[in-house]
Structure 1
Amino acid sequence: MELENERKAVVRFGLKMVESGLTTGTGGNLSIIDRKSGTVAVSPSGIEYAVLQPRDVVLTDMQGNVIDGEARPSSELGFHLSLYGQRKDIQAIVHTHSPYAVTMACLGWEIPAVHYLVGFAGKKVPLAPYATFGTPELAQIVAEYIGDYNALLLANHGLVAVGSSMDTAFAAAEEIEFVARIYYQTKSIGNPVILPDEEMNTVLEKFKTYGQKKMGIGK
């Protein structure tokens, strides 16, 4: 099976996305790109992650043409392709409907450096304006607003996280949901103290050597 490892990773992390509470039902989507061939392995539209099999994961080219797979690719394939075209460092994408991140997105708020773990995205998590899901307009907006960040809120919609691997993209989605929750809780009680840019510069520099591999965090 072509891109078997990539397809298996989409299945595994799709299930993990549900188990971690980052989405519900068939919401959200994931993809991995093979840069050598320009082939993208993307989750299919409308299939529950609990029953998803590697053969259900759809392979497309960078123009969105289906190369292999009988299912329809995710309705958000457009912004996956636009992100891969925008930044060559992106190898995987995780799109979630995680509740605290979505809460911020529905308020029209960026997520500032309320906790140093916002560094998984950069100095903050920026907010992209609303556009209807699955449209070329949304694909264009996502590519425009991602900048060099590794996570982006979509107004009234959800969160997009990117990374040099599925592991790093998923880690960004998971940690930003945590930071979104902290921001929500602190705003509910009072006015949170936001870390200054100087401290976030230090954090981002330390993140470059955190863990077993370089994280490639945006600035």
Structure 2
Amino acid sequence: MLLEEIRKKIVDYGNQLISSGLTIGTAGNISIYDPETGYMAISPSGIPYAQTTPEDVVVMDLQGNVVDGKRKPSSENGLHAAFYLEKPDARAVVHAHSMYCTTLACAGVDLKATHYAIADTGVATVPTVPYFTYGTPELAAAVRECLRGTDSKALLMANHGMVAYGDSLEKAFAVAMTCEWCAQVEWRAMAISTPNVLSDEQMAEVIEHYKTYGQAKEDGKKSQGYFG
């Protein structure tokens, strides 16, 4: 089976999407890009995560062609490919309909630096992609266009959900978790007052500090951020 270990990992993290509360039902999707082959493995469309097997995971090229697998791939395969085509460091993408990120996206509110943990995304404000129907080339194109104008490791998608990427699936998942936690903090702060949003200068200092957060890289245990 082509990219067997990668496909197993997608099954594992699909279950974690549910157990972590990042999504419910069959909403959301996960992919991993293999630079050696130029292919991405992506979760199948409409199969409950608990019932998904590695054989159900679909291997595709970045032009939307199925290379291996008998299942229909996630309808958002074009969205995932947009990350790998636009961001050379992208190795995994996590898309979820997490409650608080989705709430902000539906209200037209960007994810801001209400808490400094948003530094996991690499920016002070996570931008929002305009609304387009899910699973369409138009949405994928809008995501790619947004990526060209930001260094953010995550995006909100209007009236839809959130999407995060990283140089590993562990990191992409951690960024998604950070975004959801920060979105909940922002929502709760908005419920009682006007959030005290950190300035770009304050966040630039935090982002610089994050470069040395956790264990030294040479020990092979790179930090995935606060929530990884």
- What range is the shorter-chain TM-score in? over 0.9
> How far off its partner does 1:214 sit?
6.6
- The DSSP-based 3-state class of the residue aligned with 1:139 is helix
Query: 2 CA distance for matches of 1:77 and 1:129?
Result: 18
Match of 2:202, SS state, is helix
Aligned AA (2:189): T
Q: State the SS of the aligned residue for 1:50.
A: helix
The answer to whether residue 42 in structure 2 is matched with residue 58 in structure 1 is no
Shift of 1:42: 0.2
1:170 aligned residue: 173
1:69, CA displacement in angstroms?
0.5
Q: Within the alignment, does 1:3 sit opposite 2:19 as a pair?
A: no
Per-residue deviation, residues 3-40 of structure 1 (Å, max 9, x unmatched): 11211111111100011111111000000000111010
| CA shift in 2, pair 1:185/1:95, >3 Å | same
Residue in 2 aligned with 1:179?
A: 182
Flag structure 1 segments of 5+ consecutive residues without an equivalent: none
Residues 170 and 224, structure 2, Cα contact 8 Å, conserved in 1:
no
Kept in 2: contact 1:23–1:98 (CA 8 A): yes
Looking at structure 1, the residues matched to 27 and 162 of structure 2 have their Cα atoms a distance apart, in angstroms, of: 12
1:127 is matched with which residue? 128
Instruction: Please give the secondary structure, in 1, of the residue aligned with 2:50.
Output: coil
Distance 2:164 2:74 in 1: 16
- Give the match's secondary structure for 2:63: coil
Give, in angstroms, the shift of residue 213 of structure 1.
2.1
Alignment map for 1:2-81 (pairs within 5 Å): 2-81=2-81
Contact 1:15 1:49 in 2 (8 A): yes
Q: CA RMSD in A?
A: 1.2
1:191 equivalent to 2:191? Answer: no
Residue 213 (structure 1) aligns with: 222
CA distance in 2, matches of 1:169, 1:144: 20
Q: Choose 117-126 or 46-55, whichever is displaced more.
A: 117-126
2:30 touches 2:95 (CA, 8 Å); kept in 1?
yes
* Contact 1:105–1:155 under 8 Å retained in 2: yes
Q: Percent identity?
A: 48
Deviations 1:21-78 (A, max 9, x none): 1111100000000011101000000000011111110001111111111001100001
C-alpha distance in 1 between matches for 2:70 and 2:141:
27
**4+ aligned runs moved over 3 Å, structure 1:** none
Rounded to whole Å, the distance in 1 between the matches of 2:17 and 2:213 is 23
Tell me the SS of whatever aligns to 1:162.
Answer: strand
| Alignment check: 8 A CA contact 2:174 2:224 kept | no
TM-fit CA distance, 1:209: 2.5
Instruction: Flag structure 2 segments of 5+ consecutive residues without an equivalent.
Output: 215-220
Q: Distance in 2 between matches of 1:167 and 1:90?
A: 12
